[in-house]
Structure 1
Amino acid sequence: MKTTKELWNSYPLRNALPDWRIRWQPSAPEALTQAYRQYYRLPDVEAGQHRMGKLESAGFDIALQYWTCPDAVANLILVHGYYDHVGLYGSLIGFCRAQRLNLVAFDLPGHGLSSGEAARIDDFDQYETVFADVFQQAKQQLPALPWLAAGQSTGGAILASYLLKRHPVAGQSGPLLVWLLAPLLRPAGWRSGRWIHTLVHRFVARVPRRFVLNGNNRVFAEFVASSDPLQSRYLSVHWVTALKRWLGWIERRSPFDYPVRMIQGTADQTVDWRYNIPAYQRLFPALMLSRIVGAHHHLVNESPERLGNVYEVMRSDLSAVLAAQETASKTGQ
Structure 2
Amino acid sequence: MIPPIEWTLSGHGGELAARTWPNPDARWLAVLIHGYGEHLGRYQHVADALVGMGALVVGADHVGHGRSGGERALIGDFEAVVSDVDTVLSAALDGHPDLPVVLVGHSMGGAIAVRYAQRYPDRVAAMVLSAPVLGSWHVLDLLEYEEIPDTPVDPATLSRDTSVGAAYAADPLVWHGPFKRPTLAALEELLQTISFDHPLGDELPVLWLHGDADDLVDQADTRAGTDRVRGLGFEERTYPGARHELFNEINRDEVFADIAAFTARAVKG
**TM-score normalised according to structure 2 size:** 0.90
Q: Answer yes or no: is the 8 Å Cα contact 1:207–1:237 preserved in 2.
A: no
SS across alignment from 1:216: coil
SS across alignment from 1:270: coil
Structure 1 counterpart of 2:11, from 44, 52, 57: 57
Q: Which runs of 5+ in 2 are unaligned?
A: none
Distance of 1:121 and 1:207 partners within structure 2 = 18
Please tell me the residue identity of whatever aligns with 2:195. E
SS across alignment from 2:196: coil
SS across alignment from 2:119: helix
Runs of 4+ in structure 1 over 6 Å off: none
Determine the structure 2 residue equivalent to 1:296: 243
Distance of 2:154 and 2:216 partners within structure 1 = 12
Distance of 2:26 and 2:198 partners within structure 1 = 36
Larger radius of gyration: 1
SS across alignment from 2:9: strand
The sequence identity of aligned pairs, in percent, is 25
Distance of 1:132 and 1:138 partners within structure 2 = 10
Q: Answer yes or no: is the 8 Å Cα contact 2:135–2:224 preserved in 1.
A: no
Distance of 1:165 and 1:75 partners within structure 2 = 19
Distance of 1:207 and 1:126 partners within structure 2 = 27
Determine the structure 2 residue equivalent to 1:89: 43
- Bigger RCO of structures 1 and 2 (CA < 8 A, at least 6 apart): 2
Please tell me the residue identity of whatever aligns with 1:247. L
Determine the structure 2 residue equivalent to 1:253: 197
Instruction: Indicate yes or no: 2:180 matched with 1:236.
Output: yes
Structure 1 counterpart of 2:102, from 148, 151, 171: 148
Determine the structure 2 residue equivalent to 1:177: 126
> Aligned residue pairs: how many?
264
Q: Which runs of 5+ in 1 are unaligned?
A: 1-42, 327-333
Residue by residue over 1:284-305, the C-alpha shift from the partner in whole angstroms, topping out at 9 and shown as x without a partner, is: 22211111221111111111xx
Q: Answer yes or no: is the 8 Å Cα contact 1:188–1:269 preserved in 2.
A: no
Distance of 2:124 and 2:150 partners within structure 1 = 37
Structure 2 counterpart of 1:79, from 20, 30, 33: 33
Determine the structure 1 residue equivalent to 2:214: 268
Q: Answer yes or no: is the 8 Å Cα contact 1:264–1:292 preserved in 2.
A: yes
Instruction: Indicate yes or no: 2:166 matched with 1:212.
Output: no
Please tell me the residue identity of whatever aligns with 1:182. A
**TM-score normalised according to structure 1 size:** 0.74
Alpha-carbon distance change, 70 to 244 in structure 1, aligned in 2, over 3 angstroms: closer
Structure 1 counterpart of 2:65, from 107, 111, 130: 111
Residue by residue over 1:5-24, the C-alpha shift from the partner in whole angstroms, topping out at 9 and shown as x without a partner, is: xxxxxxxxxxxxxxxxxxxx
Q: CA RMSD in A?
A: 2.0
Determine the structure 2 residue equivalent to 1:6: none
Determine the structure 2 residue equivalent to 1:40: none
SS across alignment from 2:220: helix
Determine the structure 2 residue equivalent to 1:3: none
Please tell me the residue identity of whatever aligns with 1:58. H
Determine the structure 2 residue equivalent to 1:70: 24
